[in-house]
A = this chain, B = another copy of it.
Amino acid sequence: MEVMILNRIAALRNYMNHHNLDTFIIPSTDPHQSEYVADHWKVRTYFSGFTGSAGILIITQKVAALWTDSRYFLQFEDECGNSEIELYKQSIPHAPEHIPWLCNLLNKKDTIGIDFRQFSKSQIDYLKDCIGDKEIQLKNHPHFTKEIWLDRPSLPKGKVSNHSLEFSGESAKSKLAKVQLELKKQKADYYFFSSLDEIAWLFNIRATDVDFTPLVTSYALVGVEETILFCNCERFSQEHLEELKSIGVSVLDYDEVAVELPKLSKETVIVTDVFSLNYACYNAIQGSIVHQNSVVKEWKSIKNTTEINGAISCMKKDGVALTKFFMWLEESLQHKKLSEYEIGRKLESFRAEQERYSGESFAAIVGYKGNGAIIHYTAPKEKSALVEKKGILLIDSGAQYKDGTTDITRTLWLGGEPSEAIKQAYTAVLKGYISLEQISFPEGTIGVQLDVLARMHLWQEGLSYPHGTGHGIGSFGMVHEPEQGFATSGVTSRGTAIHKENQLTTIEPGCYVAGEFGIRIENIVLSKFSKKTQFGTFLKFEPLTLSPIDTQLILVDKLSEKEIQWLNEYHQKVYDTLSGLLNKEECEWLKEKCKKI
């Protein structure tokens, strides 16, 4: 591996030499600022060997440096520890901390090579701001891998499916009409979309272009009179194309975006979100661009009744699958050891038995003992740790069903005597989960305000965790969906977005000690109306996830009466909802796990 990476970096340096480039920046994203990208776009992984979902590689003739956040520090050591690549630790995930570093490193009039498509307009603005008066030039090199990455995978070609009204709850026609109304309000001509999840939602389309998320590689230009969806035509059924046509949507090939955008006249007013618009598209537009935080992002985050009912149905399916899985795990460990990897595959197979299952919503994390402390750990296919009936196991997993997306974490004690430290941490994590889930909060409250509720019990014990406390989740969409969530700062939208009625959000506090254990408890909650008083309208969260929370690690006398009541009621609800869907043996098993403490 190390030699292969060395050769690739050497080939890139050679390319840079030929093209007079002092630096090359390779981000982890695609032309749509996606979190998960098609294999075609795994350029950063190709040149670094680092497979984490977030990370930026910078190559100069002397330096190879990679920026990533605390979720991936251990994974980086594992994958790149022996390479020449230096790790730069981001204090805030996704923050462009490499830019000031780079601008300081570069000399006046140096050149930077990038693929314009992989950078958003706002990222380039920030880069230019930092460059200041150093007169550094940005050069577009979209084909820089051509003679290096010979077997680079092609762009996705799979079939596009129609996400029917039964699951979406609103027709593409109705959604497009809302965008058109917005255009009229703003006296603009077009709305240009480049976020794949926004396009999937807007047109009710799905595909399997990227791992874990049913998105379709595309762009969309929505006009008051004409709408173009840029996505290779052969990916649609004839019927689907006609249906789209009937609501005023023409489908043109994906690459045609580079042909059509320049055709818009200078007088055209185009509304777009410059945080997702890539710099190549930005340069192709002659008309005037009006930046707007995408309206679709907000609409999409608020789930309609069909989507909420879908989510509730998926939680039942997940609950059933998890019951069968945890029961299997407990029984299997009585007489043998199981690798983390095979545990993950078995979990997948139980979910796959469920109706409308479409795949995992992210790479399941099955982390035994110290591996649980690697926050975005993926057990390798070969030689993953062998799990025995002792110690601690963290399992964070989720599924894509046609009617919804799930994400759940449970931490299990498998046997032996847990340390006080583990119990203390587990209890504080559970108390944090309950505190945040049980809060009633006024309209207008943002994530950074609420986040501490999940941390305060840990802090009191001198504990903490190095990640946010939750994120929005899609409906047969992205497992990490903008904008709301819980975070310790206002740097990301998870900190600054207002929580609104009918949103789905995860609550997932944790605690990690490297080499020893990882603890996390995660449910998906629905934001609901709570009450209206003279002080305003208050919202609350209702947990939708249905799976018992292991009680073996709880220090019961550290729980308040209310917390004990919460746990017992939650377990009662889990049992009542799932028991009708299980056989007798499973019911008995679940009853035991859900018994009152």
Contacts and interface: CB of A to CB of B under 8 A. Distances in A.
Contact of A448 (B453, B462, B490): B490
A442 B464 contact: yes
Nearest to A533: B462
A560 interface: yes
A496 interface: yes
B462 A535 contact: yes
Contacts of A459: 439-442, 538
A450 interface: yes
A133 B463 CA distance: 53
Contact of A496 (B439, B451, B490, B531): B490
A134 to B, nearest CB: 17
A538 B462 CA distance: 7
B449 A535 contact: no
A206 to B, nearest CB: 36
Contacts of A462: 440, 531, 533, 535, 538
A495 B535 CA distance: 22
A534 B512 CA distance: 10
A456 B449 CA distance: 10
A489 interface: yes
Interface string A535-573: 110100000000000000000000010000000000000
A139 to B, nearest CB: 31
B463 A535 contact: yes
A452 interface: yes
A460 interface: yes
A361 interface: no
Contact of A490 (B460, B464, B490, B531): B490
Given A439-B459, A452-B450, A452-B452, A513 B534 contact: yes
A488 interface: yes
Identify which of A440, A441, A453, A535 gathers the most chain B CB atoms within 10 Å of its CB. A535
Nearest to A530: B462
A111 to B, nearest CB: 28
A562 to B, nearest CB: 10
A446 interface: yes
Interface string A471-503: 000000000000000001110000110000000
A428 to B, nearest CB: 11
Copies in the complex: 2
A464 B539 CA distance: 13
Given A452-B452, A452-B453, A560-B560, A460 B446 contact: no
A489 B448 CA distance: 9
Interface string A94-138: 000000000000000000000000000000000000000000000
A496 to B, nearest CB: 7
Nearest to A460: B440
Nearest to A441: B459
Nearest to A451: B449
A560 to B, nearest CB: 7
Nearest to A511: B535
A533 B450 CA distance: 24
A535 to B, nearest CB: 4
Nearest to A438: B460
Contacts of A445: 488
A36 B454 CA distance: 39
A400 to B, nearest CB: 33
Nearest to A534: B513
Identify which of A449, A531, A538 gathers the most chain B CB atoms within 10 Å of its CB. A449
A536 B452 contact: no
Contact of A463 (B446, B488, B533): B533
Interface string A191-204: 00000000000000
Nearest to A450: B452
Nearest to A435: B456
A437 to B, nearest CB: 13
Given A439-B456, A459-B442, A560-B560, A464 B535 contact: yes
A227 B453 CA distance: 49
Contacts of A456: 439, 453
A304 to B, nearest CB: 27
A566 to B, nearest CB: 13
Contacts of A442: 459, 464
A334 to B, nearest CB: 35
Contacts of A446: 489
25 contacts: A439-B456, A439-B460, A440-B459, A440-B460, A442-B464, A446-B489, A448-B449, A448-B490, A449-B449, A449-B451, A449-B452, A449-B488, A450-B452, A452-B452, A452-B453, A453-B456, A459-B538, A462-B531, A462-B533, A462-B538, A463-B533, A463-B535, A464-B535, A490-B490, A560-B560
Give the 5 A-B residue pairs with the shortest CB-CB distance, closest first. Answer: A462-B533, A490-B490, A464-B535, A449-B452, A462-B531
Given A440-B460, A448-B490, A464-B535, 15 more contacts: A439-B452, A439-B459, A439-B460, A440-B462, A442-B464, A445-B488, A446-B489, A449-B452, A452-B452, A459-B538, A462-B531, A462-B535, A463-B533, A464-B536, A490-B495
